[in-house]
Structure 1
């Protein structure tokens, strides 16, 4: 039995996934979560609507690194909808990336959403905040 399978027994209905869109970014962001620096994330509403089993507040997630190895378990504690242009400096800081500034967040997330295929200042995002439950 794999570690992911064992964790899914311990945390029923947990999903296992990576942050980012490359192994390097997945490693970087997973490390920020483990260190307690990254406590929030966001994605486009359109992407969330295409996923099977959208996340729910209180749900557990197994965070994988860029090699699909579990590094921690997080629990979703809040979710909200907002437009890209309405992201605050506080949310940017909670995302824990770069210099923690809103300017950095906007630049890097615009690049990310363009890689996904769509970006607009008015695009709707799902912002999530989470807590680390277990570091593996």
Structure 2
């Protein structure tokens, strides 16, 4: 297992695009939650610090796991979905994106369990990546609206 300064390293998602997009949301401070298929087991422990890598394998930030819970996919709440910081922050966006992700990885079942983890950003390790993260958040929101997810559009008039 790869480490950075003695801490376990990881990338979000299963693609170059997701790794960078989700890391940018963390660095911008809008992503403080994530979930994974429970069949894989937990990726962290409460209190554990890990280093998030970008798609090139470069460390961009350090996070600390605050809470973890296993629950049915269908029991994830809109508030939990918004903690993931993705799309327009809506439950509908979260559900569609995560169902598609779990289908791609071959774990999707309507009654599947997920592990929902909340974390806090403890350190930014790449200032250049951090400077670009706000633009990444704006692009994330625009893309969601362009794809018919309009919760932010309604909220912000």
Report the TM-score when normalising by structure 1.
0.87
Larger Rg: 2
1:36 aligns with 2:29: yes
Q: Within 2, Cα distance between the matches of 1:76 and 1:42?
A: 12
Say if 2:50 and 2:64, in contact at 8 Å, map to a contact too.
yes
User: What stretches of structure 1 move > 4 A for 4+ residues in a row?
Assistant: none
> 1:124 maps to which residue?
113
Which residue does the alignment assign to 1:113? 102
Does 2:35 align with 1:46? Answer: no
Query: RMSD between aligned alpha carbons?
Result: 1.1
Q: How many residues align?
A: 123
Matched, 1:97 2:86: yes
Is the counterpart of residue 76 in structure 1 residue 65 in structure 2? Answer: yes
Structure 1 residue 27 and structure 2 residue 20: aligned? yes
